[in-house]
């Protein structure tokens, strides 16, 4: 009976440490969100209305990423495997991306208002 319990516990521990195989790698999180933010900045400056499409992509990615980070089962295992820097980099990348989008949109709206 004790050996069965040990097998169950070791199987669940092995599952817990394979979470990051199914998640976005840190480089993709950073490059993806910052790339989308820069694209949104540039597009928003020229065509403010088109920045809505980039914003939709950022929001969809952010909802997915934040949902995984805050999941009651996945989140703690991600923190154990990837570390706290994964969480900080994820939130920082999302926040920076949204900030760049907003800056581009504001600049584009001001530019179109003047002309």
Lowest mean pLDDT of 11-15, 19-23, 90-94, 99-103, name the range. Answer: 11-15
Count of the separate structural domains present in the chain: 1
Task: Report if pTM > 0.85.
Answer: no
CB 108 within 8 A of CB 46: yes
Question: If you average pLDDT over every residue of the chain, what do you get?
Answer: 87
Quick: pLDDT tens for 51-100. 999 999 999 999 999 999 999 998 999 999 999 999 999 999 999 999 99
Q: What is the pLDDT of residue 20?
A: 81
The residue segments making up the domain with residue 60 are 2-114
Cβ neighbours for 81, distance < 8 A, ≥ 6 positions apart: 16, 17, 19, 20
């Amino acid at each position: 009976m004790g050996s069965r319990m040990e097998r169950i516990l070791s199987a669940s521990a092995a599952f817990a440490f394979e979470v990051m195989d199914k998640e976005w790698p840190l480089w993709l999180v950073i490059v993806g969100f910052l790339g989308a933010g820069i694209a949104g900045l540039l597009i928003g400056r020229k065509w403010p209305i088109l920045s809505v499409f980039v914003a939709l992509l950022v929001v969809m990615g952010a909802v997915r990423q934040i949902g995984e980070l805050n999941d009651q089962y996945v989140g703690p295992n991600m923190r154990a495997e990837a570390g706290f820097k994964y969480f900080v980099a994820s939130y920082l990348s999302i926040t920076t991306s949204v900030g760049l989008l907003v800056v581009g949109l504001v600049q584009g709206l001001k530019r179109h208002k003047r002309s």
